[in-house]
Amino acid sequence: MDHFSYKEDILHAEEVSIQEIAKEVGTPFYIYSTATLRRHFDLFESALSGVDHLICYAVKAASNQAILKTLAKFGAGMDVVSGGEYKRARDAGVDGGRIVFSGVGKTGAEMKLALHEGVRQFNVESEEELLVLSGIAHDMNRVAPISIRVNPDVDAKTHEKIATGKAENKFGIPISRAREVYARAASLPGIQVVGIDLHIGSQLTQLLPFEKAYTKIADLTDVLRSDGHEIKRLDLGGGLGIPYGLEDGSPPTPKEYGEMVKRVLGHLNCEIEIEPGRLLVGNAGLLVSEVIYVKKGHDREFLILDAAMNDLLRPALYEAYHDIVPVKKSSSNQENAIYDVVGPVCETGDTFAKSRAMKKCSPGDLVAFRSAGAYGAAMASEYNTRPLVPEVLTNNHEYSVIRERPALEEIIARDKIPFWLK
């Protein structure tokens, strides 16, 4: 459930008319709802009530500092995967002790930054990384708290590009080698083992893959404890899916997920960390765009929008489905039509939807892509020298532009002409 709804036929974000915002900000733009962020955060909070836990928001899903600050205010920690994300979280006021540092290719500079400013734990993904971290922490006279990301070899039953928990994926260490690698970690200077980490994939629409993986982790916890390791935290990753459209059915709720977590892992008395991204911000954001042309093609009609694949990459990259709805319902758009919905970028992949049944549109109409809050703005680029689109956050009757559209001059001025061309 979200807080985007029609009031007198105009789509509103909480109490703010999206049409009014479009007039001020121009299209395309992303808009997020604070009340929806709150609602989704609270769902996880209550799902894990009764167990010691920390919800570490996966910053990669939507990394604007206003979103980070909002979630941090609700009580979230953060899960980051780069020095950039770490700095964003810190600049948004998040204490280093509430940040977990994940990622398969952390650099020495990133490790130093986090060791210097504070980190809850590094989720280490390989022995190679473990050795580098040990060396750096030792040299800095620090101790790096670590969990090791274990690859449980479970099929997450999601799109292959976002499945991470199979043996052939680049993530984590094989679960069969966990004892050996933990023993090595315990012997290294500058390293303190605090737990186990895993993340099997994103947009999971069934509980069973999670349960299979967590069962393996429960067994591993017993084994590692009997080997003498202090396993006090389990980082379960993110991955719970959201309903984008009919084909997703109804993914499990945070409540069902939480019940399963308690059933499978509760007896271990570990602190539970989770790293949700999509479930917190996905349905809390829309991409709003204007129709430029309705073009008659050879055998179809194209709805050409001012948003493109560079603004919302998910359909081009994963054939992802996003609902597209009118911002204004009116008598003129009650007629149905079928469109290929496309952007202005010069490649055929710049297609948001094929043969989509929608209300008839005319140039100048505004449409909104639903469930675009996660991996929308965060994955945008300036391809075709299209400026990154602005982001807006609503809070009840208020709204604020949380990222401005850069001027073309600003983008172009980043290029530097070498002296021999001057």
* Interacting residues with ligand LLP between 315 and 344 (CB under 6 A): 318
* Interacting residues with ligand LLP between 193 and 222 (CB under 6 A): 199, 202-203
Taking the least distance from each CB to ligand LLP, the nearer of 362 and 381 is 381
Residues 311 and 380 sit within 8 Å (Cβ to Cβ): yes
Q: How far apart are CA 57 and CA 18, in angstroms?
A: 27
Site string for ligand LLP, 141-180 (x = CB under 6 A): ---------------------x------------------
Taking the least distance from each CB to ligand LLP, the nearer of 193 and 313 is 313
**DSSP at 284:** G
Distances (CA, A) of 362 to 24, 78, 98, 292, 297: 21, 43, 49, 8, 16
* Interacting residues with ligand LLP between 275 and 304 (CB under 6 A): 275-279
Give the dihedral sign, CA 178/179/181/182: positive
Q: Which stretch binds ligand LLP (CB under 6 A): 138-146, 271-279, 300-308, 335-343?
A: 271-279
Q: How far is the CB of 293 from ligand LLP (least distance, A)?
A: 28
* Interacting residues with ligand LLP between 43 and 72 (CB under 6 A): 58, 61
Taking the least distance from each CB to ligand LLP, the nearer of 168 and 415 is 168
* Interacting residues with ligand LLP between 100 and 119 (CB under 6 A): 102
Residue type at 98 in one-letter notation: R
Q: Please identify which residue in 145, 172, 209, 239 interacts with ligand LLP, judged by CB under 6 A.
A: 239
What are the structure tokens assigned to 357, written together?
């049944």
Q: How far is the CB of 318 from ligand LLP (least distance, A)?
A: 6
Q: How far apart are CA 422 and CA 417, in angstroms?
A: 7
What ranges make up the beta strands (E) of 202-243? 233-235
- Residue that is written with structure tokens 């004892």 in the block: 179
77 touches ligand LLP (CB under 6 A): no
**DSSP at 203:** S
Known active-site residue 346: yes
237 touches ligand LLP (CB under 6 A): yes
Total binding residues for ligand LLP by CB under 6 A? 21
116 Cβ partners below 8 Å, 6+ apart? 140
Q: Please identify which residue in 83, 165, 238, 326 interacts with ligand LLP, judged by CB under 6 A.
A: 238
| Short-list 263, 265, 257, 264, CA closest to 40 | 257
Q: How far apart are CA 389 and CA 316, in angstroms?
A: 18
Taking the least distance from each CB to ligand LLP, the nearer of 101 and 339 is 101
Q: How far is the CB of 52 from ligand LLP (least distance, A)?
A: 20
Taking the least distance from each CB to ligand LLP, the nearer of 120 and 199 is 199
Taking the least distance from each CB to ligand LLP, the nearer of 102 and 121 is 102
Q: Which stretch binds ligand LLP (CB under 6 A): 5-13, 225-233, 296-304, 374-382?
A: 374-382
| Short-list 203, 191, 79, 87, CA closest to 145 | 191
Q: How far is the CB of 279 from ligand LLP (least distance, A)?
A: 6
Tell me, letter by letter, the H, E, C secondary structure of 125-160: CCHHHHHHHHHHHHHCCCCEEEEEEEECCCCCCCCH
Taking the least distance from each CB to ligand LLP, the nearer of 58 and 231 is 58
Q: How far apart are CA 32 and CA 277, in angstroms?
A: 14
Enzyme catalytic residues: 346
Positions touching ligand LLP (CB under 6 A) are 58, 61, 79, 102, 162, 199, 202-203, 237-239, 275-279, 314, 318, 374-375, 379
